[in-house]
Structure formats: C-alpha cells, structure tokens
Amino acid sequence: MVDPIVVENILEQVQQLLEAGDVHQATEILRSLHPADSAEILNRLPQELRDRVVQELDVPELADVLEEMDEDEMVEVVQHLPVDELADVLDEMEPDMAADLLGELDEEQAARLLEEMEDAEEVEPLLAYPEDTAGGIMNVPRHMLRRHMTVAQAIQFLREHYEDEHELFHLYVLDRFRRLVGVVSLRSLILARPEQTLGEIMQTDVLTVPPEMDQEEVARLLARYNLLALPVVDAQERLLGIVSVDDVVDVLEEEATEDIYRLAQVSEDAEIFNPIPQAIRHRLPWLMVNLGTAFISSTVVAQFEGTIARVALLAALMPIVAAQGGNAGNQTMTIVVRSLALGEIEPRDAWRTLRHQLAIGILHGLILGTLVGLIAWFWKGNPMLGVIISLAMLGNLTAAALVGVLVPITLKVLKVDPALASGVFVTATTDVLGFALFLGLATYFIGWLL
Amino acid sequence: MVDPIVVENILEQVQQLLEAGDVHQATEILRSLHPADSAEILNRLPQELRDRVVQELDVPELADVLEEMDEDEMVEVVQHLPVDELADVLDEMEPDMAADLLGELDEEQAARLLEEMEDAEEVEPLLAYPEDTAGGIMNVPRHMLRRHMTVAQAIQFLREHYEDEHELFHLYVLDRFRRLVGVVSLRSLILARPEQTLGEIMQTDVLTVPPEMDQEEVARLLARYNLLALPVVDAQERLLGIVSVDDVVDVLEEEATEDIYRLAQVSEDAEIFNPIPQAIRHRLPWLMVNLGTAFISSTVVAQFEGTIARVALLAALMPIVAAQGGNAGNQTMTIVVRSLALGEIEPRDAWRTLRHQLAIGILHGLILGTLVGLIAWFWKGNPMLGVIISLAMLGNLTAAALVGVLVPITLKVLKVDPALASGVFVTATTDVLGFALFLGLATYFIGWLL
C-alpha cells in the first residue's frame, strides 16, 4: 500500500479510468486506500481529473483526505467546491487542520465559511495563532474533566463524547477556571479501580507550553521527554489546546527538510517535480546572490592580473586555497547551524564555540597547509611557492572557522534562520580571503617565484 | 527544566557540589530532574565526577537515565559498574535499550551479563537485529491476548501485567501460533462494553513491518499513517515486537542530523564540542578527499598556463564558471538526495528526474550565462569574452544538473547513502568541467581575446 512503486501504479490506473470517463470506479479505488495514499494520488492527478473525483467523494471521505495534505495542496483541491459543501467538510476535519485551510483562503471567503460552519467555535480561536506555533498545531479538547470525578464516571463520559475521536491520548483535569490541574493517561485510566477519583490517579507535575512557542521547539520537547501530547496553556495556566505526537512527527520532517534545503541554498518549499517556472523561482535567486559574491572575488583576483601574467601557475593553485577554506567553513557552519537548531548551543555559547572551532581550524590549517605546501614545492620545485600557499591555507582555514561560527550565531541573534543565509557569507569570505591572501603573498614575494 | 540555560546552570551547580565532595546533595538534584535532563548533565560531567554520582544512584534511577542516552554515552557511564549491578540495571531497562547497550560491549562481557540477568529472554532475541532496523528498535510485548477474551477480562489482565509499563499503546491479539490477527487501541478498549470480546472490537487490517526494515523507513510509515505503534512480524506473520512512536521521533532527528552532516561532508557522529582530536577525525578525511579533487582541477588549469599568461584576466573569471556550476549542482543534488530519503523518488524515476532537472539546468545556464556574458563584455569591452563565458556557463550548468541527478541515484543503486559522497563527485565535475570549458574555449579563440 505504501511502496512508492505501488502508489505509482495505482495513480496510472486511476488516471486511465478517469480519462476513460469511469469516475465511479476511480473513486472506488481511492476509497479502498489509506487516506494518506489517496491524498498523494489526488495531489498528483491533473487539476481537471482531480476535480471530477473530488465531486464524487462524500464529506467525511474528503475531510479524511484533506487532513493528509499540506496547506497549498488543500487549497488546490477545494477551490472549486461550493461554500456550503466546503463548510461541511471543514466541520468534519480536525480543528487544527480546518484552521490551517481557512488561514490559506482570503479573509472574506474564510469569514463566509465560518458563518456556514456548525463547529466554527472550535476552529475560530485557532485562527489567532501563526500556523508554525504550538497554537497553530494544537487541537482544542472537547472535554473538561474535574478532579472529583470517578474513573467509572470518566469512562462513561468518554463513551458519550468520544465515539469517533482520533486524538484521545490523555485526559485533562481542569479546575473551575479552566486551569489545568492534572493529566490522566488512558493507560492509568484502564489500570485504575472504577471508584478511584481522577484527582487520585492524575499526574500533577505536567509540562506545558505557551501557544506562541515555535512548533519545532514543541516537537523537540515531545521527543526529549517521550511524550504523546503536550498541553498548551495561557499565562493564567488555562488550557487552550493539545499538541499531539502525530502532528509533531510531521513537523520534525518538515523542519529537517527546510534546514537541508536552506543550507543548500534552495527555497524550503522546493519539491523534486515542481513545475519548471516554480523550480527556477526556488533556486535562481540564490544563484544570483552567489553570482554577486563570485564577481566580488573575481575583482579581487583582477587586482593581481600583473602577478598572474608573470606566474600563470598561480591561477592553477589559487582555487585550492579558496576551495579548502570554503569546505572547512561549510563544515563548521553546518555543525553550528544544526547545534543551534537542536538547542545544543545558544548565542551565549558563542565564545566557547568560537575558541573550540578556532583551535580545530588552526590545526586543519597547519596540517593541510603543510601538506599542500610540500606538494606545491615538489610539483614545481620552488620552496617559496610552498611557503606562500601554506601560509595562505593557514590564514584561510582560520578565517573559515571564525565566520563558520560567527555568521550563524549572529543571524540567530538577529532572529534570521541561521540555515538560510550563512552559506553565502561563509563562501564569500573564504573565496575573497583565499584569493587575496595567496595572490597578495605571491605579489609580495614575486622575486622568489620567477 | 528544559531551557538549555537552566541545564547549564544546574550542571555547574552539580559539578561544584561534587568537587566540594557533597555527592549526596548532587545526586539529590539529579533525582529531582526528568531523566532526560539528568542524562544530559551526567554526559557533560567529567568521567571521574560522573562515576561518583553513578555509584550513588539506585538501580531503577540509573536505568531511567541510561534509557535517555545514546549507545556511546551508556557505555561510558556503566564501564566501571560491577557485573551484578549492571545486570540488575539491564533487567530494569526497556529491552530494546538494554539490547543496544549489550550490543556495544564486547561479546564475552555481554554473555556474562545475559547469564546474570533475570529477564535475559526478553533481551536476547533483540540482539539478533542490527540496531538501526525495526528489529533493533522494537520491544517485545509481554502480553498475548486472544480474540475470545472479553473487554473486562482484558482490562483485568492488563491490571495484573502492566502496572509499570511505559509502552502500552495498543493490545495485540494473537492466534495460537502467535500470529497477529488484530489490534485493539486503548481508546476502543475504554469505549467498548465490558462484555464485548476483543475479536469484536479489534481492527484486523493492520500494517506490519518485517524486522529487517530500516528504522528510517519504519519512522516514515508511522509518520505517514499517523500511527502510535507498528507491529513487527516475521515471514509467518508471527508477532516479534512493537516499534512505538516515541522511539521513532528520536530516529527522525538522528537521521536528519546524519543527512545534514553528510551533505556538508562531516562525519555523521560529529557533535559541536567533540574533543579536538575526535573533531579532526570527523572532518579532516573529507577535507583530504576534497584536496585530491582540488588538485585534479588544478592540473586542468595548469594545462592552460600559456593562455592565462597571455590573458591573465581569464584567471579572474574562471572561478565564476566553476562556482556557479558547483552551487547549481549542489542544489540539484540536495533536492535529489532528500527526495530519495523521503521516498518521494526511487532509482526507477531516474529518467523522469533527469529530464526535469536537465531542463531546469539548461534554463539556469541560459539565464545566468547570458547575464555573466553581458557583464564580462561590458566590464572588459570584449564581446568574444562574453560569448566564451556564456557558453562555458551553459555547458557547466547543464553538466551540474546531470551529475546532480545521476550521482546520488547511482550511489543509491549501489546501496551507498547518497548523502555521503555525492558532494565530492558533483564539485569535482563542475570544477574540472568549468575550468576546462572556459579555458579551452578561450584557448581556441585566443586571437579574439588579445
């Protein structure tokens, strides 16, 4: 069901059925799949064929499938639905997903849909939070249990209210001001005696998060403490909602992809089969930025045209100095960016991090500089060439460590994602400095090189 | 409790207490923390101080803390424990974690510990599976429920067997050959009437995985289908164990870090404050490999020494061609590597991927080539220089797309992690080809450039 090859085959089959006009049979196939798989197939159908299937699906089916899509995909699927049908679908969806979809629509359309919806009061409060925060991924629990309730009463209550609830992990016990006073796991509910009260079996030392916490941080808390769900509370400790582990697994995937793409200077929204104009929008701006820095280093090299005209070999060796600096700087930067993302270091650790990475950079510079110096010497029979390239390497690898630490930490302090732009600064520095150091030293000692 | 700054402060406080000889007070502080936080503090204490605290902790406390560590860290902590005490700790740990720890010790020591352990039969079967597979991260469920059991009987059974169980998400219903016939969620157990049988309320269409499946793939299945746990079965559909979502959240973090580090050509084991000799072992080998490829492109440039001596300006422009190819190739490669990791493409999609990325590469080449050509023309007043650099850019960006797709897909077919070595090949190609194309064309048309 899950194998990409199988999904591919089903997609082909569905597409052929739709093209042959057999919408009924195509829809039956989608119904037989897990909603996550139907969602993938719907996303990959051409718009026109997709609309035909969407019309055939009933409200709960459509809600299930939409919940497996990201925001852009949801909007594509629902754009041709009439308002009243879409309102029904939104009522059926998990409130956090419904809020994400509403947040993508224009304000007027969203307002009209909220008016049409029956459960608007579950969704509306969620619209206040940005979608990448705890508030944006939480759901509002439908129960308010009290500490004097017995286990038997609580089970009775759940039977009445949670027939069809996906997201029941824990029970939340509130006081009369809606403040969270404790949590009861389903496990302890099962293991308790029916006459015990929730107050007796609840856990009171509960980790909570504020609604504005970044979703990535929420995900890491759940991961670090092996939790199934985290309650979101306001400043008065009133329960606002619950973030559950299944929402968060997707967050970790998304955030990792975002970091990987940003480090490679690709827009975080890139996908492998983006239409070509979109793919170019995701990548060309970054190539342009790099072109700018490449021209800067080009003008640096141009300053030394006279030296290069006399010792053309320098042109062959100078990329080595720049490339090694770039690679070492990229290593340091990546470790710093990832450690910042994982919360292993904070900007206040800048000095400690810098000292440590500078030591590594200087050692790399000494080792690689000596090696390259010896190779250059024996290759070209000129010891001075070896000395010059060694010194340039040492200087450039030291600088690489410096920018590799300081650029991402500075961006973090400025509240810019360190993964986003660090690479440009690091490469620009190691290129310019690599060329300038090597060619500058060569110009100074040109008498020894001729 | 969670804030890195707070952990830092507690670490300092604990260290000062230990240095002052107050082991008791230091241990009390660790006891008051979540095991995940105590684990971090223990890991960051110097070995000698850590050993003092470890001696003070009792068996269940030590087990809790060890479960929060990775394998290397566990070994460091337990290395000075006597065999009988360590066996008790292993008995207390989750079997999958105990198996991970035993797997890190030498065979003789592991055999002796298994002999000493009481619950060795829960751990021993797990040792057969590599630790990064479903078998390596699963736990063996202690229950074998049958379909004719009633809900009331099942609850009674759980009360007797699961007093102290962290990992109870679902109940697994087996037939008399231990084959998995259905799953009952805790939610549906609570919501069912006491006299219903498990056979009536169980879900029979259950996704299962084989023990040898890679942990990353298991993690993605759980994420895709929003599952809390996945049963691991053998070829006869007999239940071997359960992988639960909290194990898997850590897996996703680890695998993302691994990919990010490998893409930056840093060993996947790197950590920000690795001791310097270790940090150099994580990074220097990759710098050496890159040095090799840098020397190859250097010898290519050296072939054109004559041309450069006559038009030294070429040395200033040639890094632009190489750098733009390198950046574009790195973009393509990263998207392909990540899409392979996420299962969005398979090697069989090579041709489709290649066509798509080649189109993007050629368009980038045309746009950037034209731009760079115009700049070079107006900067140096020589239209032929513009034509040459445009053509070199077009060629190099096309090649970048080609290697950016083919290298990672080839590595995947060869069962090498595409994140691991793709960068070296891509950069080597775009450097060598960038220099060769640009300087080759310049040599051919040298008459127009003088």
**Residue in A with minimal Cα distance to B260:** A260
- Domain borders along chain B are 4-130, 151-258, 276-449
Q: How close B354 comes to chain A (CA, Å)?
A: 11
CATH code: domain A276-449 is 1.10.357.20
% residues pLDDT > 70 (chain B): 97
Cβ <8 Å between B162 and A334: no
Q: Give the span between the Cα atoms of B243 and A385, in whole angstroms.
A: 60
B233-263 tens-digit pLDDT: 999 989 998 898 877 888 888 888 888 999 9
pLDDT at position A166: 56
Instruction: Give the count of beta carbons closer than 10 Å to the beta carbon of residue B107.
Output: 9
Residue A223 is nearest to which of B1, B253, B352, comparing CB atoms?
B253
In the predicted model, is pLDDT for residue B333 greater than 80? yes
Do the beta carbons of residue A138 and residue A219 sit within 8 Å?
no
Residues of B in contact with A400 (CB under 8 A): none
The two three-digit tokens of residue A335, written as one number: 């470790």
Cβ <8 Å between A338 and B291: no
In the predicted model, is pLDDT for residue B3 greater than 70? no
Q: Give the span between the Cα atoms of B227 and B244, in whole angstroms.
A: 8
Q: Does A34 touch chain B (CB under 8 A)?
A: yes
Suggest the residue from B69, B186, B226 to mutate for an interface test with chain A (most A CBs closer than 10 A): B226
Q: Are strands B239-244 and B170-174 parallel, antiparallel or unpaired?
A: unpaired
Q: Do domains B4-130 and B151-258 have the same CATH topology?
A: no
Cβ <8 Å between B253 and A252: yes
A329-341 tens-digit pLDDT: 999 999 999 999 8
Mean pLDDT, chain B, rounded, equals: 89
Residues of A in contact with B279 (CB under 8 A): 356, 360
Q: How close B73 comes to chain A (CA, Å)?
A: 16
What are the residue ranges in chain A where pLDDT is below 70? 1-5, 142, 162-168
Q: Are strands B170-174 and B180-185 parallel, antiparallel or unpaired?
A: antiparallel
Cβ <8 Å between B4 and A344: yes
Q: Does B250 touch chain A (CB under 8 A)?
A: yes
pLDDT at position A217: 87
Residues 159-218 of chain A whose Cβ lies under 8 A from any Cβ of chain B: 159, 162-163, 165-166, 168, 186-187, 189-191, 207
pLDDT at position A296: 94
B302-330 tens-digit pLDDT: 999 999 999 999 999 999 999 999 999 99
Give the A:B interface size as CB pairs under 8 Å. 320
pLDDT at position B167: 57
Strand partners, B184: B171
Residue B4 is nearest to which of A186, A318, A346, comparing CB atoms?
A346
pLDDT at position A127: 87
Instruction: Give the count of beta carbons closer than 10 Å to the beta carbon of residue A311.
Output: 22
Cβ <8 Å between A312 and B291: no
Q: Does A31 touch chain B (CB under 8 A)?
A: no
φ, ψ of residue B71 in degrees (nearest 5): -60, -45
pLDDT at position B314: 94
CA torsion sign, A86 to A87 to A92 to A95?
positive
Cβ <8 Å between A283 and B364: yes
Long-range contacts of B317-320 (CB under 8 A, 24+ apart): B317/A298, B317/B376, B317/B385, B317/B389, B317/B438, B318/A315, B318/B434, B318/B435, B318/B438, B318/B439, B319/A294, B319/A297, B319/A298, B319/A301, B319/A319, B319/A322, B319/A431, B319/A435, B320/A291, B320/A294, B320/A295, B320/A298, B320/B372, B320/B389
Cα→Cα distances A361→A319, A353, B309, B448, Å = 19, 12, 34, 44
Residues 305-364 of chain A whose Cβ lies under 8 A from any Cβ of chain B: 305-306, 308-310, 312-320, 322-324, 327-328, 330-331, 333-336, 338-339, 342-346, 348, 352-353, 356, 359-360, 363-364
Q: Does A248 touch chain B (CB under 8 A)?
A: yes
Q: Which fold has domain B4-130?
A: MgtE N-terminal fold (1.25.60)
The two three-digit tokens of residue A109, written as one number: 């359309």
φ, ψ of residue A44 in degrees (nearest 5): -95, -5
Q: Does A272 touch chain B (CB under 8 A)?
A: yes
pLDDT at position B213: 93
Rounded average pLDDT over B359-369: 96
Residues of A in contact with B366 (CB under 8 A): none
Q: Give the span between the Cα atoms of A183 and A231, in whole angstroms.
A: 9
Q: Does B296 touch chain A (CB under 8 A)?
A: no
pLDDT at position B271: 85
Cβ <8 Å between A302 and B313: yes
Burial B352-361 (b: 16+ CB within 10 A, else e): ebbebbbebb
Place B5 in a pLDDT band, splitting at 50, 70 and 90. low
pLDDT at position B1: 41
Residues 372-401 of chain A whose Cβ lies under 8 A from any Cβ of chain B: 372, 375
Q: Are strands B180-185 and B229-233 parallel, antiparallel or unpaired?
A: unpaired
Q: How close A25 comes to chain B (CA, Å)?
A: 22
Q: Does A144 touch chain B (CB under 8 A)?
A: no
Q: How close B352 comes to chain A (CA, Å)?
A: 9
Residues of A in contact with B264 (CB under 8 A): 263, 330-331, 333-335
Q: Identify the top-confidence range among A202-211, A367-376, B143-152, B189-198.
A: A367-376
List the one residue out of B408, B433, B419, B427 whose CA is nearest residue A323.
B427
Give the class (CATH, top level) of A4-132.
Answer: mainly alpha
Suggest the residue from B7, B198, B224 to mutate for an interface test with chain A (most A CBs closer than 10 A): B224
pLDDT at position B330: 94
What's the CA dihedral at B52, B53, B59, B60 to 10 degrees? -170
ipTM above 0.90, yes or no: no
Cβ <8 Å between A291 and B245: no
Residues ≥6 apart with Cβ < 8 Å to A397: A324, A325, A328, A361, A362, A364, A365, A368, A369
Q: Give the span between the Cα atoms of B206 and B182, in whole angstroms.
A: 7
Q: How close B291 comes to chain A (CA, Å)?
A: 7
SS3 (DSSP) at A197? strand
CATH number assigned to the domain with residue range A151-258, chosen from the 4 options 1.10.3720.10, 3.10.580.10, 1.10.287.130, 3.60.40.10: 3.10.580.10
Q: Does B445 touch chain A (CB under 8 A)?
A: no
Q: Report chain A's C-alpha Rg in angstroms.
A: 30
Residues of A in contact with B317 (CB under 8 A): 298
